[in-house]
Structure 1
Amino acid sequence: MPVVLRVDGFRFLFYSNEGHPREPAHIHVLRGRDEAKFWLLPEIALAYNDGFNARTLNRIGKLVGLHRDDLESAWHEHFA
């Protein structure tokens, strides 16, 4: 599970063995025991949340948007 970004205690990563067929590009965000998953395409959208409050999810969503190009590039490089 490559961590592709670390910001303010959040780890942005994806799981190498996720889904057959593979799901569309997305990123998991972890901090402590909390985890959220965001779709990167066609637009950024929350897929699920386990533990983050609404304010933190909003902040994470903004970080995903800010780093979307890098996250998407890392996804394609890893799964190429």
Structure 2
Amino acid sequence: MSPTIFREEPRMPVHVQNQHGKAKFWLSPQIELAKSTGLSQHEITEASSLITEHHNDIHNAWHQHVPR
């Protein structure tokens, strides 16, 4: 799975995808699944765990690309 950061969102999102589908998670105020298509519950849980594990790195990268 690979994260993507977009500018047009008012909240901090991270997008993940693999060959089966995709999902969007909000990073703040807490990590929360916004939507998913085609991913199994196991894949969503795995993505959420990876986002939690790397939250600080993702948060810092997001702010480098979208300074506020």
Q: TM-score, normalized by length of structure 1? A: 0.76
Determine if the alignment matches structure 1 residue 15 to structure 2 residue 6: yes
Runs of 4+ more than 2 Å apart: none
Q: Which residue of 1 aligns with 2:53?
A: 66
Bigger fraction of residues in strand = 1
Q: CA deviation at 1:15?
A: 2.5
**CA drift at 1:23:** 1.7
The structure whose RCO (Cα within 8 Å, separation 6+) is larger is 2
The whole-number CA distance in structure 2 between the counterparts of 1:23 and 1:69 is: 19
2:45 aligned with 1:54, yes or no?
Answer: no
* Structure with more helix by fraction: 2
Alpha-carbon displacement from aligned partner over 1:27-67 (angstroms, at most 9, x marks no partner) = 00011251100111111000000110111111111000000
Aligned pair count? 67
Note the residue ranges of structure 1 that are not aligned, 5 or more in a row.
Answer: 1-9
Normalised TM-score (structure 2): 0.89
* Unpaired runs of at least 5, structure 2: none
